[in-house]
A = this chain, B = another copy of it.
């Protein structure tokens, strides 16, 4: 199966083979980005940005122009149709009837999936809230692969705000798929959210090795004692590599220098997303700064410095001319990588390739309008109430449901039968007793009663 006409909402919509095809086409395009303006002639894309993002938008639009295609752009959508009350599904259907491909950024998590469901043309997610930003991830992977010759076996430390940075989630999943080792080093209180760690352990069969020990000696000034080493993520293909660090509250230098015999390949620093920070978050106050001083350590001798940009203060300008600094190259790689993805999805390249596609979803789906809705208040279903809830059942004991749109996971407390209108605790046995098509999950007894379900045992 080829990539033609496929939507890319998460990195998981692409198989490893397909990603490799994107990268090798990007290599070809990158030799001279100006030499390809015949490839997408006649192709028109819509670039819909419900949230401003000069960088990502211009990178996509430059890419389509480099290929000889055209773009129609809207950055003012919230001021127009939306204010007239139009649903995303309607917008997707209409704009999809104008153009060949849609690139969308939206503040609601899962919005790109809704577009992909209704547009009738392929949709590329350019960031949906805190959920995913797959092309940023592709640029990151492409940069690593280009600089290091491959991704498997690399050791990548990901630092900073791992809670709000969608970039980081996509990257962590993707690195895992390509058999890299990841060190998560969040600022206090800004660790990976539950649904993301859950996805890493279930989907990618990774092992989190929580670190609980005491402070090691020799902590450098660069990292205060408040920085928490969250976990070492060991990829499945290297099961013999143990989690190395028993101590919490570790200093990054110490951790990294003890991390196997080689130094860390890349230090991926993220911006503190102040605009998404709750007022009581402390992570903002004690945030790692990557500067000349830190990078002087011999454990960082060959370490690439990466950052999705924009940076604020967490990445010193002193490093801009350092040969290890990759962040501007990451941005520059955005054009050939996006060119490659656009050309493949638009069917102007690779139509004859026989690539393995992602495996079809094997998990049970759950879909009912009677019971719970996704509990994530930034989920697209929280904003568009006419959108039917859809979940995958990703755990059975206890039951865990993952929203198909935003991938947030919930553990419902009760399960009921739409036939008997009777609800009971959602044990594995209770669930089995109800036919799949009748199953209705609830977050709480109150919710079940609101929907006119009786509680088992109550009268």
Q: How far is the CA of A79 from the CA of B86 in the complex (A)?
A: 24
The answer to whether A58 and B76 touch across the interface, beta carbons within 8 angstroms, is no
The answer to whether A86 and B335 touch across the interface, beta carbons within 8 angstroms, is no
Residues of B within 8 A of A61 (CB): 72
The answer to whether B84 and A310 touch across the interface, beta carbons within 8 angstroms, is yes
Interface membership of chain A positions 56-96, coded 1 if the CB is closer than 8 angstroms to chain B and 0 otherwise: 01110110011000111111110111011110001101110
3 A-B pairs closest in CB distance: A52-B80, A97-B332, A86-B310
Q: Is the C-beta of A311 less than 8 angstroms from some C-beta in chain B?
A: yes
Residues of A with Cβ closer than 8 Å to B? 34-35, 37, 41-44, 46, 48, 52-55, 57-59, 61-62, 65-66, 70-77, 79-81, 83-86, 90-91, 93-95, 97-100, 271, 275, 309-312, 317, 328, 331-332, 334-335, 386
Known: A42-B37, A76-B75. Is A97-B58 also a contact (CB below 8 A)? no
Known: A61-B72, A76-B75, A331-B94. Is A54-B42 also a contact (CB below 8 A)? no
Query: Which among B42, B76, B97 is the interface contact of A331 at CB below 8 angstroms?
Result: B97
Residues of B within 8 A of A48 (CB): 54
Please list 6 pairs of residues, one from A and one from B, whose beta carbons are closer than 8 Å in the complex, sorted by A's number: A35-B42, A44-B62, A46-B58, A58-B98, A62-B72, A97-B331
- Nearest-neighbour CB distance to chain B for A118, whole angstroms, equals 9
Q: How far is the CA of A386 from the CA of B73 in the complex (A)?
A: 34
Residues of B within 8 A of A52 (CB): 76, 79-80
Closest to A98 in B: B62
Residues of B within 8 A of A331 (CB): 93-94, 97-98
The answer to whether B335 and A97 touch across the interface, beta carbons within 8 angstroms, is yes
- Nearest-neighbour CB distance to chain B for A352, whole angstroms, equals 20
Residues of B within 8 A of A43 (CB): 34
Known: A62-B72, A72-B62. Is A312-B44 also a contact (CB below 8 A)? no
